[in-house]
Chain A
């Protein structure tokens, strides 16, 4: 067959990956999620070398390269470090609009991302000014918690 005989568009064969994983959360994040679920508190782990309080907690400090040991409660208030507001739909992701922010909770060294709710997002410029870096938020805990990052969200103060 030469190319000129081909009258139809090249064929497309479809395929899908449906692969289930059971991710080990690890002891450190497990403790974080259980404390979040059962007591409505956010905790970080302190690096014994640089004294940084890592939130989300990590079992190690990647800069000092030592294991972390001590738990420290942080927040529930904190300061916005970075944010965005999503206005266009992405494949397989939530319906827009929604806002996410990285927040350094009081007492923490690193920032933790979560959704920002209870905020009118209809005007991007107005909402962006409210979410400006340096503004203060508080963590609000869901009534029914399952031990996941979405057990809390941020709300402007």
Chain B
């Protein structure tokens, strides 16, 4: 590839179950200003602002009207996608690679404490076939999980292990919202919310906003900090309808990974990816992603998880940040995965810093209906 996109900096807000101290515009400003400060630039340096937000979650229609200003876009080029948060980074990368822009600010937010999330999630389904059946993102995740066709006994054993792992990782991460570890016993004692997902496997959500400053290769090399590159990225959309392939195989994620790996020149992800930050709104999301991303052999996700491959110190640490299990930013959870991967490769992950990682993967995905996924391969050489 002739050109690649660099990461100049990252910013995020304080996370809380309810950020009643700020209105949505102020939350967005908090993350955008933090990202500019981290990158060591000012608003004047930004060429384009790319936002990802969802009106139904924000409780405002065409929410970019009020979000553009606090995101730094006054009298600048700006665009918004309503796909999951990481699509702001996808679109920002594309705009930089177009050659039109040197510096982009990509930002997304999630302040779902203000509305009835479960009901809003139900409204995402079509009004004829699925909405009347009370579907929402948790129900969908549960349904997808039931379709897994390998070693379901091991899968049931591995799911709480993923939660224990991520919450344990998160307990050491000063950026995480939930810092208390959980035990396998506590998870198994919690009731099913939607079989096979237990209540303790769906983390308490938090409000927050997350931003990245991205730049062209030339502009990145001018920065003082050692560069971190988005070496490859891809996105893919799977089925809305069932019954033509197994939902738990996450065809949308496989398509996204294929593109990202091809762009980054990754041919053996299991050995070439040093660590990964994956979407883990439920432990099943993370388990199915291992296989879809080639980090575990087909049918081998549960076994790999149970033998500790993805622990901090394991073969390929996954979510050393604690993941969404520790910081459930819902719509913005994927973007925080990119930020955590960036901080690792930048050597600035603090107490959870891995020893000299060179190549990491970050993934975001829309929970319902496990349809859209984005994959980023980041590298610091």
Binding site for B on A (CB under 8 A): 9-10, 12, 15, 17, 21, 23, 25, 29, 52, 54, 56, 58, 63, 81-88, 90-94, 98, 100, 102, 104, 108-115, 124, 127-128, 131, 133, 148-150
Contacts and interface: CB of A to CB of B under 8 A. Distances in A.
Given A85-B195, A88-B194, A102 B143 contact: yes
Which of A56, A90, A133 neighbours the largest number of chain B CB atoms within 10 Å of its CB? A90
Contacts of A82: 143-144, 146-147, 242, 247
Contacts of A84: 139, 142-143, 145-146, 194-197
11 contacts: A81-B147, A85-B192, A87-B191, A90-B139, A92-B116, A93-B119, A93-B122, A102-B147, A111-B242, A112-B129, A149-B128
Contacts of A56: 128-129, 241
B143 A90 contact: no
Contacts of A112: 129, 243
Contacts of B143: 82-84, 100, 102, 113
Given A63-B244, A93-B136, 12 more contacts: A23-B127, A54-B241, A81-B243, A84-B139, A84-B146, A85-B195, A86-B134, A90-B118, A90-B139, A93-B118, A112-B129, A112-B243
A77 to B, nearest CB: 15
Given A85-B192, A91-B118, A100 B135 contact: yes
B185 interface: no
B20 interface: yes
B75 interface: no
A109 B194 contact: no
Contact of A133 (B136, B138, B147, B191): B147
B222 interface: no
B7 to A, nearest CB: 34
Contact of B243 (A88, A94, A102, A114): A102
Which of A15, A82, A104, A109 neighbours the largest number of chain B CB atoms within 10 Å of its CB? A82
A91 B133 contact: no
B133 A149 contact: yes
A29 B128 contact: yes
A91 B196 CA distance: 20
A92 B194 contact: no
A100 B133 contact: yes
B243 to A, nearest CB: 3
Contacts of B242: 81-82, 102, 110-111, 113
Which of B130, B132, B134, B196 neighbours the largest number of chain A CB atoms within 10 Å of its CB? B134
Contacts of A87: 191-195
Given A54-B241, A81-B147, A82-B242, A114 B134 contact: no
Contact of A91 (B119, B132, B149): B119
Nearest to B202: A88
Contacts of A90: 118-119, 122, 134, 136, 138-139
Nearest to A14: B114
Contact of A88 (B119, B133, B199): B199
Which 8 A-B pairs have CB atoms at the shortest separation, nearest pair first? Answer: A111-B243, A84-B142, A92-B119, A90-B118, A110-B243, A82-B147, A91-B116, A111-B242
B297 interface: no
B197 to A, nearest CB: 8
A127 B122 CA distance: 24
A113 B135 contact: yes
Contact of A149 (B129, B139, B197, B244): B129
B117 interface: yes
Interface string B107-141: 00000000011110010000111101111101100
A136 B21 CA distance: 53
B313 interface: no
Contacts of A131: 146
Nearest to B60: A15
A138 B197 CA distance: 26
Contacts of A10: 20-21
Contacts of A12: 20
Given A82-B144, A149-B128, A88 B193 contact: yes
A150 B129 contact: no
A21 B149 CA distance: 39
A128 B197 CA distance: 12
Nearest to A19: B61
B59 interface: yes
Contacts of B149: 133
A150 B195 contact: no
A86 B145 CA distance: 14
